Amino acid sequence: MSFDSLQEKIIQKKNPAVAGLDPRPEQIPPHILKEAYGRYGETLEGAAQAVWQFNQGLMDALCDVVPAVKPQAAYYERLGWHGMAVLERTIAYAKEKGLFVIADIKRGDIGSTAQAYADAWLGETQVGGAAHAAFGVDCVTLNGYMGSDTVEPFVETCKRYGKCLFLLAKTSNPGSGELQNLTAGEKKVYQLLGDMAEKLGADTQGKYGYGLAGAVTGATYPEELSELRARLPHTFFLVPGYGAQGGTAQDVQHAFDNHGRGAIVNASRSIMCAWQKTGRDGLDYQEAARAAAEEMRDAIGAYVTIR
């Protein structure tokens, strides 16, 4: 299963962190924007080209520090087809660099539509007698609140192509408790979603004991994170909320099993925007991002020993 590949990359780099690639133009260093706008104007194409140059530079700087990247599709969709072309290019470049790619798409729709999304992001699209991979990422995020039948097409696609998924359970945003902490029967809603992930991944455990269906569990709620780790022994966790949202290394330690495995922690702004704190106007954005990623790795390493 694909989580074996991710876990092995984490062990190799001794770093359970994924760098989010979610850039807005205002978060891109001025010299990159100036060059892109000079060639393409202040247009969606110009913004997309700046995003590409920024992403490429970040991945060059981070590829031997972090095991994975997580582009959030919304930041590319807002730039139209130019942005989606850059997303495709970013995914391909990440794979060239040996990085595990999590597409943060949070899809959740009925069966035939879910299958189309699964084909697009994880599998292949049949065109006449030929099959083509569209995006070909390793993993996606999904919203399972319409029920398990909206996720099952992704599960089958994961089985076929050796991929994996993360299902939203207890998310990091402040309003998550409005629905996720409600009691339904004898369980809270986020527990039901976590249980769904554990059930969907049943009988697909790989080398490290984790099934193909993981769960999104926020760093900003360490008590629930600890509870879910005990509740879901075969479910790999994606942990957002570290850094800019307030989650700490002390908080995220609860996501890992006794071997320091089974979780990956996301940081986006704290790595991407590290250049904004150095006073060099972004000329050192690669060095700043790398230093932030290493600092995050070391901070988590003070609480979690990866074996």
Alpha helices of 167-248 — where are they, by DSSP H?
Answer: 177-180, 189-200, 222-231
What gap in Å lies between CA 290 and CA 261, rounded to an integer?
Answer: 23
DSSP letter string over 39-63?
A: HH-SSHHHHHHHHHHHHHHHHHHHT
Q: Are 54 and 36 in contact (CB under 8 A)?
A: no
- Does the annotation mark 9 as catalytic? no
Tokens representing 83 are 């942005």
Q: Compute CA 213 distance to the chain's CA centroid, rounded to the nearest angstrom.
A: 14
Q: What's the sign of the alpha-carbon dihedral 270, 273, 279, 284? A: positive
Q: Which of 13, 14, 95, 106 is catalytic?
A: 106
**How many residues are recorded in the chain?**
307
* Closest by Cα among 245, 204, 257, 250 to 11: 257
Q: Mapping DSSP to helix (H, G, I), strand (E, B) and coil, where does residue 268 land? A: coil
Helix/strand/coil percent split, the chain, to 5: 50, 20, 35
Task: Print burial letters for 182-215: b (CB count within 10 Å at least 16), e (below 16).
Answer: eeeeeebbbbbbbbbbbebbeebbbebbbbbbbb
What gap in Å lies between CA 32 and CA 261, rounded to an integer?
Answer: 38
In the numeric block, the tokens 């991979």 are attached to 133
CB atoms within 10 A of CB 225: 25
> Would you please indicate which residues are annotated as catalytic (active-site) residues?
106
